[in-house]
Amino acid sequence: MLRKKGTLTSISASLLILGSAVLVHAAGMPQRTAITREEIASALTANGINVGHNQVEPLCDITASGSRTPHLQVVSVEPQNANVANVRLKCRSTGVCLPFYVLLHWQDPDEAKNTLRKWQIRDQSRAHGSQLPQDEMLVRSGKTATLVLASSNTRITMPVLCLQNGARGQSVRVMNKDSKRVYLAKVIAAGLVTSASLN
Protein backbone atom coordinates (compact mmCIF):
# COMPACT_ATOMS: atom_id res chain seq x y z
CA MET A 1 0.00 0.00 0.00
CA LEU A 2 2.83 2.33 0.82
CA ARG A 3 4.49 1.45 -2.46
CA LYS A 4 1.33 2.36 -4.35
CA LYS A 5 1.04 5.60 -2.48
CA GLY A 6 4.67 6.39 -3.25
CA THR A 7 4.13 5.59 -6.91
CA LEU A 8 1.10 7.88 -7.07
CA THR A 9 3.04 10.61 -5.33
CA SER A 10 5.87 10.20 -7.86
CA ILE A 11 3.49 10.34 -10.81
CA SER A 12 1.78 13.45 -9.39
CA ALA A 13 5.15 15.16 -8.94
CA SER A 14 6.14 14.27 -12.53
CA LEU A 15 2.91 15.67 -13.92
CA LEU A 16 3.40 18.86 -11.90
CA ILE A 17 6.91 19.32 -13.31
CA LEU A 18 5.71 18.59 -16.85
CA GLY A 19 2.83 21.05 -16.51
CA SER A 20 5.21 23.73 -15.26
CA ALA A 21 7.51 23.14 -18.22
CA VAL A 22 4.59 23.55 -20.64
CA LEU A 23 3.58 26.81 -18.98
CA VAL A 24 7.14 28.15 -19.13
CA HIS A 25 7.40 27.17 -22.81
CA ALA A 26 4.09 28.88 -23.61
CA ALA A 27 5.13 32.00 -21.72
CA GLY A 28 8.38 32.13 -23.71
CA MET A 29 6.63 31.98 -27.11
CA PRO A 30 6.36 35.34 -28.93
CA GLN A 31 2.92 36.88 -29.10
CA ARG A 32 1.28 36.64 -32.52
CA THR A 33 -1.35 39.02 -33.87
CA ALA A 34 -3.76 38.43 -36.75
CA ILE A 35 -3.14 40.53 -39.87
CA THR A 36 -6.57 41.88 -40.82
CA ARG A 37 -8.11 42.51 -44.22
CA GLU A 38 -8.18 46.23 -43.35
CA GLU A 39 -4.41 46.22 -42.79
CA ILE A 40 -3.85 44.37 -46.06
CA ALA A 41 -6.08 46.82 -47.96
CA SER A 42 -4.19 49.74 -46.39
CA ALA A 43 -0.86 48.26 -47.53
CA LEU A 44 -2.23 47.75 -51.04
CA THR A 45 -3.47 51.34 -51.20
CA ALA A 46 -0.04 52.58 -50.10
CA ASN A 47 1.38 50.66 -53.06
CA GLY A 48 -1.00 52.27 -55.56
CA ILE A 49 -3.71 49.58 -55.54
CA ASN A 50 -6.84 51.30 -54.26
CA VAL A 51 -9.16 48.60 -52.93
CA GLY A 52 -11.53 48.23 -50.01
CA HIS A 53 -11.10 45.60 -47.32
CA ASN A 54 -14.23 43.83 -48.64
CA GLN A 55 -12.34 43.16 -51.90
CA VAL A 56 -9.54 41.31 -50.07
CA GLU A 57 -9.80 37.54 -49.63
CA PRO A 58 -7.03 35.99 -47.49
CA LEU A 59 -6.27 32.42 -48.52
CA CYS A 60 -5.38 31.37 -44.96
CA ASP A 61 -5.12 32.73 -41.41
CA ILE A 62 -2.29 35.28 -41.45
CA THR A 63 -0.46 36.27 -38.27
CA ALA A 64 2.58 38.32 -37.38
CA SER A 65 4.80 38.25 -34.32
CA GLY A 66 4.37 41.12 -31.90
CA SER A 67 1.39 43.29 -31.05
CA ARG A 68 1.95 46.07 -33.57
CA THR A 69 0.71 46.20 -37.16
CA PRO A 70 3.57 44.93 -39.36
CA HIS A 71 4.91 46.89 -42.31
CA LEU A 72 3.58 45.02 -45.36
CA GLN A 73 5.11 45.17 -48.83
CA VAL A 74 3.51 44.12 -52.13
CA VAL A 75 5.76 41.66 -53.97
CA SER A 76 3.69 40.82 -57.05
CA VAL A 77 0.24 41.23 -58.58
CA GLU A 78 -0.87 38.62 -61.11
CA PRO A 79 -4.33 38.67 -62.75
CA GLN A 80 -6.23 35.38 -62.58
CA ASN A 81 -9.15 36.50 -64.72
CA ALA A 82 -10.97 39.71 -65.64
CA ASN A 83 -12.19 40.29 -62.07
CA VAL A 84 -9.64 38.59 -59.80
CA ALA A 85 -5.93 39.08 -59.13
CA ASN A 86 -3.53 37.07 -57.00
CA VAL A 87 -1.34 39.27 -54.78
CA ARG A 88 1.79 38.20 -52.91
CA LEU A 89 2.72 40.25 -49.84
CA LYS A 90 5.44 40.02 -47.23
CA CYS A 91 6.52 41.70 -44.03
CA ARG A 92 9.58 43.90 -44.18
CA SER A 93 11.27 41.41 -41.85
CA THR A 94 10.84 37.67 -42.43
CA GLY A 95 11.01 37.22 -38.66
CA VAL A 96 7.69 39.06 -38.33
CA CYS A 97 5.70 37.05 -40.88
CA LEU A 98 6.23 34.75 -43.84
CA PRO A 99 5.18 35.82 -47.37
CA PHE A 100 1.50 35.16 -48.06
CA TYR A 101 -1.10 35.45 -50.82
CA VAL A 102 -4.51 37.10 -51.01
CA LEU A 103 -7.08 37.39 -53.78
CA LEU A 104 -8.44 40.75 -54.90
CA HIS A 105 -11.94 40.94 -56.34
CA TRP A 106 -13.51 43.62 -58.57
CA GLN A 107 -17.08 43.91 -59.81
CA ASP A 108 -16.04 45.93 -62.87
CA PRO A 109 -13.45 44.33 -65.21
CA ASP A 110 -12.41 47.78 -66.49
CA GLU A 111 -11.63 48.91 -62.93
CA ALA A 112 -9.53 45.77 -62.45
CA LYS A 113 -7.68 46.39 -65.71
CA ASN A 114 -6.94 50.04 -64.86
CA THR A 115 -5.79 49.17 -61.34
CA LEU A 116 -3.44 46.44 -62.58
CA ARG A 117 -2.05 48.73 -65.30
CA LYS A 118 -1.28 51.44 -62.72
CA TRP A 119 0.45 48.85 -60.52
CA GLN A 120 2.62 47.66 -63.44
CA ILE A 121 3.65 51.22 -64.29
CA ARG A 122 4.45 52.00 -60.65
CA ASP A 123 6.36 48.74 -60.24
CA GLN A 124 8.46 49.39 -63.36
CA SER A 125 9.21 52.92 -62.19
CA ARG A 126 10.37 51.67 -58.78
CA ALA A 127 12.57 49.09 -60.49
CA HIS A 128 14.26 51.91 -62.38
CA GLY A 129 14.71 54.00 -59.23
CA SER A 130 12.02 56.57 -60.00
CA GLN A 131 9.85 57.80 -57.14
CA LEU A 132 8.08 60.48 -59.19
CA PRO A 133 4.28 60.53 -59.60
CA GLN A 134 3.14 58.77 -62.75
CA ASP A 135 1.67 61.92 -64.28
CA GLU A 136 5.23 63.33 -64.45
CA MET A 137 6.45 60.48 -66.64
CA LEU A 138 6.96 61.92 -70.14
CA VAL A 139 7.99 58.65 -71.80
CA ARG A 140 6.81 55.17 -70.89
CA SER A 141 8.24 51.70 -71.31
CA GLY A 142 6.83 49.95 -74.39
CA LYS A 143 5.68 53.19 -76.01
CA THR A 144 7.09 54.93 -79.10
CA ALA A 145 9.00 58.19 -78.82
CA THR A 146 11.05 60.41 -81.12
CA LEU A 147 14.81 60.33 -80.70
CA VAL A 148 16.84 63.35 -81.75
CA LEU A 149 20.48 62.52 -82.51
CA ALA A 150 22.36 65.79 -82.45
CA SER A 151 25.98 66.72 -83.00
CA SER A 152 27.79 69.90 -84.02
CA ASN A 153 27.14 69.20 -87.71
CA THR A 154 24.11 66.94 -87.95
CA ARG A 155 20.64 66.47 -86.54
CA ILE A 156 18.74 63.22 -87.13
CA THR A 157 15.31 62.23 -85.83
CA MET A 158 13.95 58.70 -85.71
CA PRO A 159 11.13 56.76 -84.03
CA VAL A 160 12.31 54.56 -81.16
CA LEU A 161 10.82 52.16 -78.64
CA CYS A 162 11.22 53.24 -75.01
CA LEU A 163 12.65 50.53 -72.76
CA GLN A 164 12.12 52.50 -69.54
CA ASN A 165 9.79 55.08 -68.02
CA GLY A 166 11.28 58.53 -67.68
CA ALA A 167 10.57 62.05 -66.43
CA ARG A 168 12.07 65.27 -67.74
CA GLY A 169 15.86 65.26 -67.40
CA GLN A 170 16.18 61.52 -66.74
CA SER A 171 18.23 59.19 -68.93
CA VAL A 172 16.42 56.19 -70.40
CA ARG A 173 17.29 53.39 -72.79
CA VAL A 174 15.53 53.46 -76.18
CA MET A 175 15.81 51.15 -79.17
CA ASN A 176 15.64 51.74 -82.90
CA LYS A 177 13.01 49.25 -84.10
CA ASP A 178 14.70 48.63 -87.45
CA SER A 179 18.39 48.38 -86.54
CA LYS A 180 17.77 47.16 -82.95
CA ARG A 181 20.43 49.61 -81.78
CA VAL A 182 20.03 50.82 -78.20
CA TYR A 183 20.65 54.43 -77.24
CA LEU A 184 20.94 56.08 -73.85
CA ALA A 185 18.85 59.21 -74.25
CA LYS A 186 17.76 62.15 -72.14
CA VAL A 187 14.05 62.93 -71.78
CA ILE A 188 13.35 66.51 -72.86
CA ALA A 189 9.57 66.52 -73.48
CA ALA A 190 6.56 64.25 -73.77
CA GLY A 191 7.50 61.52 -76.26
CA LEU A 192 10.78 63.25 -77.12
CA VAL A 193 14.33 62.20 -76.16
CA THR A 194 17.78 63.23 -77.31
CA SER A 195 21.19 61.61 -77.46
CA ALA A 196 24.64 62.32 -78.78
CA SER A 197 26.08 58.83 -78.54
CA LEU A 198 25.29 55.14 -78.98
CA ASN A 199 25.02 53.05 -75.83
Residues 6+ apart with CB under 8 A from 184: 171, 172, 173, 195, 197, 199
What's the pLDDT score for residue 67? 67
What's the pLDDT score for residue 126? 61
What residues in the chain have per-residue pLDDT under 50? 1-3, 7-9, 11-27, 130-132, 198-199
In whole angstroms, give the CA distance from residue 136 to residue 167. 6
What's the pLDDT score for residue 129? 52
What's the pLDDT score for residue 144? 92
In whole angstroms, give the CA distance from residue 172 to residue 187. 7
Is beta strand 144-150 parallel, antiparallel or unpaired with respect to 192-195? parallel
Walk me through the domains of the chain, giving residue ranges and CATH numbers.
32-127 (no CATH), 135-195 (2.30.30.760)
Contact 184, 173 (CB under 8 A): yes
Residues 6+ apart with CB under 8 A from 102: 40, 56, 57, 58, 59, 86, 87, 89
